[in-house]
Structures are given as C-alpha cells and as structure tokens.
Structure 1
Amino acid sequence: MTDQPSTDRLSEARAALATAMALHEQGDLEGAEAGYRAVLALEYRATDVLPLLAGLLGRLSRAEDALIAWEQLLAIAPDHAVALHEKGLTLHWLGRTGEAVAALEQACALDPHNAIAIGNLAVVLADAGRNHAAIGQFRRALALQSDNLHLRHQLRRLGAASVPFWHIPMMNDAPRNDAFEAAITAAIAVAGPDARVLDIGAGSGLLSLIAARAGAQHVVACEMEPLIAEMAQQIVAQNGYADRITVHAKPSTDLAVGVELDVPAQILVSEILSSDLLTEKVLDTFEDAHRRLLAPDALVIPRAATAMGCLVASETLADYAFVGEVSGFDLSPFTDFAQQRLPIHGTMTAWQRLSDDHELVRLDLTQAKHDAVLTRLRIPVTASGRAIGIVQWMHIDLWPGVTFDNHPDRYTDGGWLQILHSFPTPVDVIAGETLDIAVGHDRITLILLPLTQ
C-alpha cells in the first residue's frame, strides 16, 4: 500500500466506488467489476472492495478469479475470518477439497461461534468422505443453533450413512441374541469371570454387554467405524458397565497384547459374519486374532459357520440377475455385469425350490489358518425348472448344543438376509437328474458355479 491518496485521487476513488456499487445493485455485474477494479487501482479501501469484487466474480461463476480476490484480501488481512470462509467455499467449488478444509478450519478457529461457517466445514468434510469429522462439526454447529433443522437433518443423514441398515434389525433379532447369550454365558461359566473377553466388531456393544452381565469382569471390544464405536461406549456407560467394558475405535488388526489387552484373551466373541459368510474379511480377522490376540486354548464364539443352500427358480429374481431382449433389442451381453450376489428375504420373494438343502461351505473358526478351497458338489434335482442360481443362508455353531440359522422358510425379520448366488446364465434342470456345482471360497467370497456352463 502507498501513502494516503491525494484529495483528487480520493474523490475519484469515492466516485468510482459509488458508481460500481450502483451498477452492482442494478445487476450490471460486468460494469461493477470494472468499477471495483478501478477503485482498487486507486488503492482505496481494498479490504472493503475486495469482498464485493470476489462475491461478484462468484456470481459470474468465475471461481478462479474469485479465489484470487479472496487471496488478495488475505494478503492484506491474514486473519480475515470471512475471507477464509469464502476462500474455503470457493476452493471446494473448484474441487480442491483438502485446501478447502484447511481454509474453513482456519475460519472456524478465528470465529468459533459462527454456526454457518462450522456447518459449511462439516459439509466439505462430508464431501471429502470424512464422515466422522463432519458429524463432530455438525454437532458443534447444532450446539450453537439448536433449532436449525438443516443441521439436524444433515447430522441424521450422515449418521445413517455411516451405519449399515442391517444393524438395527440385527439388534432386534431376539432368537439370534438369545443364542449368542446362551453361548457366551456357557463360555464364561467354563473360563471364569476373570477370563479376558475380546469382542471383535462390537457394533452397538450388545455382545460385550451380554458378557459383562454374565459375569465377565474384563471385556475389550473393538469397532472400526468411529461413529459406531463412540455410540457403543456411550451405550456401555449408560447401562452401567463402563468399569468392565472398554471399546476401541479401531479394527482388531490394530489391537495388541500389552496395549489394549493386558494378556491374550481367553474368550473371543464376534459377529462379523456377513449374509454371504465371508465378505467382511472374516477369515483374515479370525486368523489374525488366533495368531496375536488369543490364548492357545481360547474359547471361540461362534465355533463354526456353514453356508447352506438350494437350487431355485424364480421369474422375479431372474429379472434382477439376467437381461435379454428389451424394447426389441438384444441386451443380453449386459448380464456379464450383473451382481453375482443378491440379498433377499426367503419368504418375501417368490421363488421355487428345485433341490433339498445342502451344505455348501463350512468354516471351522477355531482353526488358526484357512486356505482357499474349491470342490465339486453333486446336487440331486427334486423339481424340474429353470435354475437361476442358489439361494444361500447360514447355519452358525455357537457352542455345544447352541446353534442359530437364518433358514429362508422361517427367518425373515433379522439382520441376516438370504443371498441369491446367480449363475452366469440360467440352467434347465429335470427332476431325478443331478446338477454338478463347483463350491468353495477364495477366502473373501463364496464360489458357486454350475459345471455345465
């Protein structure tokens, strides 16, 4: 900045500013821009004019030019909270999310009671995929504006997006909960109340709470989704077990004996089995626990999990798994992109059974190591039809005499669904004959493919 403008230059600058502001108000944005730039050239009231120019450039969708104006203002006034806020929004507009977050964090630090700026920071964090941090900022903004319905909606939306839909129906699944409780109670009776319990994939903390209620004095739980872990710890405290249960917001692979666990756990409880058995890295997780976190003679709940299934025909499900002629065009090649695993509810979807139930794949979760496997299964066909795939469910062995399954004939109201494993193309089968299926797993997914194709 130079010295104070001369009287003539000052008068010229004031007149130019008045004209520019009038043009701005009239909607002549190009004329206003020229006027503001003329005022800046006269070095008059830059800290007042630059925000007007930057805002105008934003309205003209000239984000890069607007950013330059905000940066010019910050070069004069580095702690200008409004400029930092607007710079952050402009950077976000330009797709420069990391820089946008940094600018908005600076703005919020300078103006910690500005609910709008904090809310905008939350929005940018959410767009960056940092949902947990975004939720924290939305909560902070809502504490300042408790009646802001927009903030409440965003907080609820992000919370729901961070928690899979099946969590609540699974928590409400009384038969499943009763089976886990029977197994956990029996294990603690055998190992004793001082046995260290490890709960992997704690979710709401229900299994940890069951263990504590059964007498366990030392429970370490882990949940890799920070928002869910935070809620689990709150639920644990609310139910009066904070002195016995500790929840860590991290995957079990980040736990260590001597850090989160004082000694190797004598009891492992875990409910990370997905509807198709393997998707949630079940084998990797259990193997790591056996290798690093469990005592050699640890009791494991569940002890085993088996994928069960039967051949099925269904016109309804076929429309989700295959495509052929549509509007007079052959679209059948697109079937190559069809989902191989479709979640269903057994008694809520029309399908016909073409075989009896068969054991497909069994996992002994007490074993320390699991290899990928692929074998041949010969399935006797009990009804003729067009087999579109195999409907699969789970049978869980929790403890001697304690089992649970989500058989499609009787289970429709829990968190586990049945899965249709569709064939690459439908197979016509005849009652009394057999269909050979390749069954196994690659440690991550089940493999169920007809050998006739």
Structure 2
Amino acid sequence: MTDLESADRLTEARVALAEAMALHEQGDLVAAERRYRAALAQDYRPADVLPLLAGLLGRLSRPEDALHAWDQLLAIEPDHAVALHEKGLTLHWLDRTEEAIASLERACALDPDNATALGNLGVVLADAHRNLEALRTFRRALALQPDNLHLRHQVRRLGSGAVPFWHIPMMNDAPRNDAFEAAIKAAIGVAGPEARVLDIGAGSGLLSLMAARAGARKVVACEMEPMIAEMAQQIVAQNGYAARITVHAKPSTELAVGAELDAPADILVSEILSSDLLTEKVLDTFEDAHRRLLAPDALVIPRAASAMGCLVASENLAGYAFVGDVSGFDLSAFTAFAPQRLPIHGTMTGWQRLSGDVELVRLDLTQKKHDATLARLSVPVTASGRAIGIVQWMHIDLWDGVTFDNHPDGYHDGGWLQVLHSFPEPIDVVAGEVLDIAAGHDRITLILWPLPRAAD
C-alpha cells in the first residue's frame, strides 16, 4: 500500500468515526453502528472506538454483541478497568452471574476507589445470594461515598432482608427476656462460672450476653445466617464481652467438640421456638445437641415447651381460611389449598372462644430423642358456635418456677404471635358437648385435625 493510499484510508477512518459520533449523539444508533464498524475496519483507534460501540450495542439491547466488543477491547488492554466493569454488567444482564462477579471483582481490584463498581459488584453478589459478601462490598463503597443514599439503602435492604419481621419485637419483649435471664442466672448459679455455655440460634447474641453477665467465662454461640452472626459478634464486642463469647456463623449441626467447642457444653440456651412451636427444626436441633455437643448432665434452657390452644369461632378469620360462593360461583373446592396455619395479628384478631385452654402438645427438651406422635384429645365445648379451628400459643418452662407464655389474653406486643390452625371445614359445636381432635406432631409441624363425629 502506497503512502497516498494509507493517507486516504486514515482520512476515511477519521471521517467514519466523526460521523459515527455525530449520529450517536443524534440518536441514530443503527447508522452510528455502521460508521463505528467502518472505522474499526481500518483498525483506527480501536481502544477508543470499541467502548463507544459496546455502549451503543447495549442501548440497542444486544448484550451478546456488546459483550463481544468488550472482549475485543480486553484483548487489547487486559487490565482495562472500565471494560471489565462493563463486561461484568453485561454478563449479569445475560444471567451469567458467576462470570459477572469474576469480571467485576477484577475491575474493583484494579480500581479499588471506584464506589460505582463496588456498588454494582454488591448488587450482583446479592443476586447470587452471597449476601454477606454483598453487604461487605456495599460497606466498602459506602466508606468511599458516605452520603450515597443508594448504597445506604442497599446496606439496609440486605440487613433487614436477613431478619424476619418478628425478630425486633421479640428482642424488645421485656417479660420474655427477664424469664430467660432468670433461668440463665439460676443455671450458672448451679453449674458455676466455669461451666461451658452453648447458645444455639444466637441472633443478636442477647442470651450469650446474659450468660456472660451472669458470670459464665466461656460461651460458644452459633447463628446460621452469616450477616446476623457478624452483627452478633460486633454487638458482643461493643458490650465488652468479646473475650468470653465467640459467635460462629454456622448451624449447630456443623459445630463439633474439639473444634468450635473445646469440650461438651454444660449449659444449653436456645430460643429457636417458633410461634407454632416446631417449624424451626427444634427437635432435630436439640437431639443433635444432646447426642454430640452436650455433657450427659447438661442443663437445658428451656427444658420444656407446650403448644396451648382453644377452640374458636370467627367470621373474620373464616375469610382467611375458607372460600365458598364468590360472585355467584361455587369456589369451595379451593379451600383444599387454604393455609393450615395463620398468624393472628393486625385485623386478624377478632375471634370468639368456644372452649377453655387446652394443652395440645408438650415437648420435653431434656429428652435425647423425640418420635412423631398423634393422640386423641377431647376438647370440652364451653360456648355454641361455628368452630373454624384452634388458636394456639406457647407456654415454655425455663427453670423451676420460671415460665413464659404468649397467652392471647395478656400478650400482644412481642415477637411470638398466636396461630390459627384452621380445620378443613367449619364445624358447628354446642356448649356442653366434646369435640375430639387428633393432636400431635410430625417432628416439624403441629398436627391438629378434627376427628369424625358420631352420627346422631
């Protein structure tokens, strides 16, 4: 090629790039793409043209083509932080999440003070359910831009998403806290300050802090949600007990004597009871602890828990549990899909008692093994009405003379809710008669089922 031909091609490339940029600015993206490619065909300033072309292709919703352009740029400049950042975002667009994270991590390593890149990496990590890494990444970005409301929102969103709505009111439940602390003090008074304490499901670390304040010198806590475990360790340190309390970000089933515990625990404290008693795998957790993690004579707090309840009628709650005629159509068959358990809160509080309090199921948490159980329970009816199910609450036995419950007549503001266990269909009952139900559990849920009634 002669010098004249080279000059002509260079001129053509410059013109093509100028035209492409003008068309791009005017919004004629299709024509701009053609002119960018004309410039690239002359191998004219590819490191400058490829980012423009890739951005344009993204606006045209052609992520595969945009990705190819970013890869072409990275073949020229492998450490191009912007290209790595944009490639990561494009990969995320294409649902290639792990590749997106790898590209964004490289971009952030090359440009560690880029809060935007860190924020985007945090978003992709969160989408991959790597929440603790996402939270730490957002915090790094927020340290660079403390007033960035988007980043502040992401930190709060991730933290609050890891905590169920009832956790804060439960932490603020003074009667519950006082009952647990009284039991913990009594246990340490018996076992002594050298007793090893194991706290399963530590949450904020409150029960561990109570044990340390009561004199326990060694507390091992575990919390399976990593973000909550990290916060618990921070709270422990802020309160001056870091030397006595260690929080592990794992479930108790992954703890071992000789690793996280230097010896079997002498005291177990745990508050993993759910509003309907069993759904947080209470029995599996306690059995595993008895088998592997506790001394044979370990003290257990709580030592027992009961599901209490009463037969109820409620037109309001029936609207949550049953369906019949709707807009002139019979939809009653859909009741088969209705929830068996409904938390009682807000507007779902209007119900009429049709029986006295009845103990439905009792768990002895000091036992080392629990089998599924089902037994006939006769419930005396004290008021006539249309029974839609049983409202259930809990009573827990923490220590001699130390108990706590969320009885609906006197407990409304804590973390535990009462639960409606709806019947398959409403049952008309009359005061003075007895309604027989099957009451028990399958180890993970309560079973409360009305039994067939004798024919009149």
- Is this a same-fold pair by TM over 0.5? yes
Aligned to 1:166: 166
Residue deviations 1:294-351 (CA, integer Å, cap 9, x gap) = 0000000000000001111111111111222222233223222222111114997100
What secondary structure is seen at the aligned counterpart in 1 of 2:431?
A: coil
Aligned to 1:281: 281
Aligned to 1:378: 378
Aligned to 1:444: 444
TM score, norm. by length of structure 1: 0.97
Residue deviations 1:212-260 (CA, integer Å, cap 9, x gap) = 1111111111111111111111111111111111111111111111111
Aligned to 2:414: 414
User: After the TM superposition, which residues 192-341 of structure 1 pair with which residues of structure 2 at under 5 Å, given as runs?
Assistant: 192-341=192-341
Amino acid at match of 2:321: A
Amino acid at match of 1:27: G
Aligned to 2:144: 144
Aligned to 1:46: 46
Q: Provide the C-alpha distance between the structure 2 equivalents of 1:435 and 1:402, rounded to a whole number of angstroms.
A: 32
Aligned to 2:8: 8
- CA drift of 1:374 comes to 1.1
In structure 1, the gaps of 5 or more residues are: none
Asked if 2 retains the 8 angstrom alpha-carbon contact of 1:347 and 1:408, the reply is no
Q: Provide the C-alpha distance between the structure 2 equivalents of 1:366 and 1:281, rounded to a whole number of angstroms.
A: 16
Residues 1:332 and 1:75: Cα distance change in structure 2 (over 3 Å): farther
Asked if 1 retains the 8 angstrom alpha-carbon contact of 2:381 and 2:435, the reply is yes
**In angstroms, what is the RMSD of aligned CA positions?**
1.5
- CA drift of 1:452 comes to 2.7
User: After the TM superposition, which residues 18-37 of structure 1 pair with which residues of structure 2 at under 5 Å, given as runs?
Assistant: 18-37=18-37
Percent of pairs identical after alignment? Answer: 83
Q: Provide the C-alpha distance between the structure 2 equivalents of 1:99 and 1:426, rounded to a whole number of angstroms.
A: 54
- CA drift of 1:134 comes to 1.1
Q: Provide the C-alpha distance between the structure 2 equivalents of 1:174 and 1:286, rounded to a whole number of angstroms.
A: 25
Q: Provide the C-alpha distance between the structure 1 equivalents of 2:38 and 2:422, rounded to a whole number of angstroms.
A: 69
Aligned to 1:17: 17
Asked if 2 retains the 8 angstrom alpha-carbon contact of 1:346 and 1:418, the reply is no
Aligned to 2:187: 187
Residues 1:49 and 1:198: Cα distance change in structure 2 (over 3 Å): same
- CA drift of 1:426 comes to 1.4
Q: Provide the C-alpha distance between the structure 2 equivalents of 1:447 and 1:110, rounded to a whole number of angstroms.
A: 57
Asked if 1 retains the 8 angstrom alpha-carbon contact of 2:303 and 2:398, the reply is yes
Amino acid at match of 2:234: Q
Asked if 2 retains the 8 angstrom alpha-carbon contact of 1:222 and 1:248, the reply is yes
- CA drift of 1:444 comes to 0.6
Aligned to 2:154: 154
- 1:120 and 2:116 equivalent? no
Residue deviations 1:57-91 (CA, integer Å, cap 9, x gap) = 11111112111111221122211111111111111
User: After the TM superposition, which residues 45-124 of structure 1 pair with which residues of structure 2 at under 5 Å, given as runs?
Assistant: 45-124=45-124
Asked if 1 retains the 8 angstrom alpha-carbon contact of 2:203 and 2:232, the reply is yes
Asked if 2 retains the 8 angstrom alpha-carbon contact of 1:346 and 1:411, the reply is no
Residue deviations 1:367-415 (CA, integer Å, cap 9, x gap) = 1111111111111111111111110000100011111111011000111
Aligned to 1:400: 400
Amino acid at match of 2:119: G
Residues 1:348 and 1:426: Cα distance change in structure 2 (over 3 Å): closer
In structure 2, the gaps of 5 or more residues are: none
Q: Provide the C-alpha distance between the structure 2 equivalents of 1:207 and 1:72, rounded to a whole number of angstroms.
A: 57
Amino acid at match of 1:414: G
Amino acid at match of 1:354: L
Asked if 1 retains the 8 angstrom alpha-carbon contact of 2:316 and 2:348, the reply is no
What secondary structure is seen at the aligned counterpart in 1 of 2:275?
A: coil
Q: Provide the C-alpha distance between the structure 2 equivalents of 1:322 and 1:84, rounded to a whole number of angstroms.
A: 55
Asked if 1 retains the 8 angstrom alpha-carbon contact of 2:317 and 2:348, the reply is no
Q: Provide the C-alpha distance between the structure 1 equivalents of 2:278 and 2:439, rounded to a whole number of angstroms.
A: 14
Asked if 2 retains the 8 angstrom alpha-carbon contact of 1:389 and 1:420, the reply is yes
What secondary structure is seen at the aligned counterpart in 2 of 1:363?
A: strand
What secondary structure is seen at the aligned counterpart in 1 of 2:241?
A: coil
Asked if 2 retains the 8 angstrom alpha-carbon contact of 1:184 and 1:301, the reply is yes
Q: Provide the C-alpha distance between the structure 1 equivalents of 2:261 and 2:429, rounded to a whole number of angstroms.
A: 54
Q: Provide the C-alpha distance between the structure 2 equivalents of 1:364 and 1:314, rounded to a whole number of angstroms.
A: 33
Asked if 1 retains the 8 angstrom alpha-carbon contact of 2:220 and 2:260, the reply is yes
Q: Provide the C-alpha distance between the structure 2 equivalents of 1:199 and 1:268, rounded to a whole number of angstroms.
A: 6
Q: Provide the C-alpha distance between the structure 1 equivalents of 2:124 and 2:187, rounded to a whole number of angstroms.
A: 47
